């Protein structure tokens, strides 16, 4: 196994995973043998660079997840879950509640549309009445029942800003 017996001195107290290339001056990975920008040889070989990286990584448990191909130590994943309902409430944005009533509204709209076909006799009136009732039931249920439940009246009214 080709293991570097005498890894070049590595400053383990330096927490940086990146280094400024002595030739091009750009920031590059510290433990890759070649500069990524200009190809300048930072380490005698890839094995030496890898051995140096392992020494550097094992010097601090916080560097456990570091990769020598990165130029920054990965940060702890943050919980980015957002409660959009609460956020909208804070911002005073009105969200419609999650609801099945829109489906009922659509069924009502279907019958209303059928009532538009010039059927002979009272069929159109019957379709109009059925469609209208289903449609109104859906609208009332969604806007007047569920919406009011989601936004109770006791919430403080947003103060108007006068310019």
Shortest distance in whole angstroms from residue 63 CB to Zn ion = 24
Is the separation of the CB atoms in 12 and 19 below 8 Å? no
Residues in touch with Zn ion (CB under 5 A): 21, 23-24, 35, 37-38, 40
Q: Which residue is nearest to Zn ion (CB)?
A: 21
| CA distance linking residue 85 with residue 91, whole number of Å | 10
DSSP H or E stretch at residue 20:
strand 18-20
| CA distance linking residue 11 with residue 19, whole number of Å | 12
Alpha-helix residue ranges (DSSP H) falling in the chain = 46-58, 84-91, 101-114, 123-139, 147-150
Is the separation of the CB atoms in 20 and 26 below 8 Å? yes
């Amino acid at each position: 196994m080709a293991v570097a017996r005498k890894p070049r001195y590595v400053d383990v107290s330096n927490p940086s995973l990146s280094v400024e290339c002595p030739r091009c001056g750009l920031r590059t990975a510290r433990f890759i043998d070649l500069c990524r920008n200009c190809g300048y040889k930072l380490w005698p070989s890839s094995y030496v660079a890898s051995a140096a990286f392992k020494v550097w990584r094992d010097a601090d448990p916080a560097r456990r997840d570091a990769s020598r191909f990165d130029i920054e130590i990965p940060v702890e994943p943050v919980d980015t879950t957002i409660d959009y309902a609460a956020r909208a409430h804070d911002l005073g944005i009105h969200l419609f509640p999650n609801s099945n009533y829109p489906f009922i509204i659509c069924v009502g709209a279907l019958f209303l549309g059928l009532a538009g076909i010039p059927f002979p006799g009272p069929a159109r009136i019957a379709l109009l009445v059925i469609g209208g009732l289903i449609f109104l039931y859906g609208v009332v249920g969604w806007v007047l029942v569920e919406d009011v439940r989601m936004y109770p009246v006791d919430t403080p009214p947003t103060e108007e800003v006068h310019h």
